[in-house]
Structure formats: structure tokens, C-alpha cells
Amino acid sequence: MTSAPSGPSAPSATSGPSTPFLVATAQNAISPDVRQNGRGIRELMRAADQEGARLIHFPEGALSGYAKAQVKDWQTVDWPAINEELEQIAALAKELRLWTVLGSAHRLTAPHRPHNSLYVISDRGILVDRYDKRYCSHTEITHWYTPGFRPVAFEVDGFRFGTALCIEINFPEHFAEYERLAVDCVLFSSYSEDPMFGVLAQAHASTNKYWLSFSVPAQCSHAVPASLISPAGGYLTRAPESGRPSLVLGRLDRADPEFEGHLTFARTWRASARAGDIYAARKVDDPRSVDTQRF
């Protein structure tokens, strides 16, 4: 795993192996019972492994539950059970050789509130990084969570992944930052029943020209089911809106001719456009340009 680079040192998102990368996007049921959640997570991990997935991606609060929904008071959370379940999940990730990105609350030292986090567990069963939600809602920031302050990007088999949580979908700067960090795919985990999240996810994928894995709990799937969105903004795979646990698989394929224009040309050109040099070089010294109050 490599830490997220910044500025010009970020690698090219269109470079790397042409071998497709299989992502499994989970739509698991989340209950107040941490043990039950852990069993469901491991069941979907085994299903992803049977399908040949290299990475499985789970929703916000997949293990611990989400504040206000399953968690009514942090004092009632069984933190030892969460830690034990995380250890079992990490052990299974090692056994299956399956990268696992998992949503859960992360306990801090009292009296500090937990982070709302995504654990990044490698195929060796090692916790290589943790993304802590940065853009928390008013209710989250005042009653439930402590915010994080950094992006997290990591690499698997030459593909780079970024991480995001729930209402961060409303902050385009968050997703633009991952374009600058040269990610190939953003793993977006949510606990929401807002159908606009799906529209925004498609827009971010298309605008930034990367894949986007959208993981939600089964109980939210009626609004926006789990899916993998292409760099063109369309759905590659989509789970049923059944309210039941499900798993969708999709390939990140740089060699797919359908996305060549998006990955090779549009993304590169947009990066140069954002830098501004191509426009600055064409600035003219013309009084009719400067005067904005005459026809």
C-alpha cells in the first residue's frame, strides 16, 4: 500500500497493467447486532472470492451500524465484539487473498466521539490504512462523530483506489481531489435513501473520468442499489432493489475501447484545462476584450 501522493508526483491514472481488475460491491444488511453483521460480511466475502474478485467493498457502518439507525447511544456499542469481528474479517481476507474495504465506527479515547471510517484491509489480512469521514453532517459533527482530515488512496495490482463516505457525495472538491491523486476508482460507501446520491455519483465518475463503486446497505437499496459506475457515467453493474443482501461484480478495464476516449483523452485534457496553462497562453491584449460594457 502506498500513501496518497499529492501534486505532480501523483502517478498517471491511465498507466499501469491492462489486465482487468474485478471489484465486488456489497449490499449487505446492517443490524444492531455486530455479530450478525460480521457473519453477513464474511458470507459476502466468500461469495466474492468464489467469483474471482480481487477486492470487496462494503457500505458505511457495515460492521458497527450507523448512528441514529442501528446505534442510538455509543455507550451501548459492544466495542470488544467489533474488535473481535474485525480480527475475524482480517483473517478471512488473508485466507481468501481478498482486499476488503469495510465501513465501521472507529473508537477513540474517551471522551472523544468515534470516527466514521472505512478500514482498508489487505489480502495479507493487514490493516494498511483507515479513511475517516471528513465532511460530516451537522448532526454527525455535533452529536455523533469526530471528523477526519485527510484523503486516503491505496494501490492494488497497479490500480489506485480512493475512499469516500455518504454526504461527501455533495462535495465535488472531494472527488476532484481524487482525480488529482490519480485514482482509477473511488470506493464510495453510503447509508442513505436519497436517490440523488446515485445521480451525483454518476456525475462525479463522468466528470473525473474514473470508475466509482457505490456500496449501500440492503435496506437502502430501494432508493439507490449497490453499483459500479463507469468513467462514462453509466452503470456497468447494478444490484436489485430488493432490500436483500446482494453482491455485484464489475471489471475495471483500461483496455476497454468503450472507455478509451474517457481515460486516455478526456481525462488528460481536463487535467491540462484545470491547470489553466492552455488558456493563459492564448490570452490576448485587446481593448475590446477588456471592455465588458460595450457591444
Residue 144, all three cell numbers: 455523533
pLDDT of residue 15: 56
Q: What is the CA angle 35-60-131, rounded to 5?
A: 110
How far, in whole angstroms, is CA 100 from its chain's centroid? 12
Please report, for residues 39, 73, 82, 219, the alpha-carbon distance to residue 67 in angstroms, rounded to integers and kept in the order given.
20, 8, 15, 15
Q: How far apart, in whole angstroms, are the C-alpha atoms of residue 239 and residue 252?
A: 17
Q: Which domains does the chain have, with CATH numbers?
A: 16-254 (3.60.110.10)
Q: What is the pLDDT along the chain (295 residues), one digit of tens a residue?
A: 334 433 334 555 555 556 899 999 999 999 999 999 999 999 999 999 999 999 999 999 999 988 888 888 888 899 999 999 999 999 999 999 999 999 999 999 999 999 999 999 999 999 999 999 999 989 988 999 999 999 999 999 999 999 999 999 999 999 999 999 999 999 999 998 899 999 999 999 999 999 999 999 999 889 989 999 999 999 999 998 778 899 999 999 998 889 989 998 889 888 888 888 889 999 999 999 999 999 9
Q: How far apart, in whole angstroms, are the C-alpha atoms of residue 261 and residue 276?
A: 21
Residue 185, beta-bridge partner list: 161, 211
pLDDT of residue 16: 57
Beta strand pairing call for 185-189 and 159-165:
parallel
pLDDT of residue 13: 55
pLDDT of residue 14: 54
Residue where the block lists cell 462525479:
204
Compute the residue count for the chain.
295
pLDDT of residue 243: 81
pLDDT of residue 8: 35
How is 222-240 classified by DSSP, letter by letter? TTS--EEE-TTSSEEEE--
Please report, for residues 8, 78, 85, 196, 232, the alpha-carbon distance to residue 110 in angstroms, rounded to integers and kept in the order given.
40, 15, 22, 36, 45
Q: Residues 59, 230, 51, 219: is their CA dihedral positive or negative?
A: positive
* Sheet of 55-57, strands arranged across: 127-132, 115-121, 99-106, 55-57, 21-27, 246-252
Quick one: which H or E segment has residue 248? Answer: strand 246-252
Q: How far apart, in whole angstroms, are the C-alpha atoms of residue 31 and residue 289?
A: 62
pLDDT of residue 181: 96
Q: Provide the 10 A C-beta neighbour count for residue 284.
A: 7
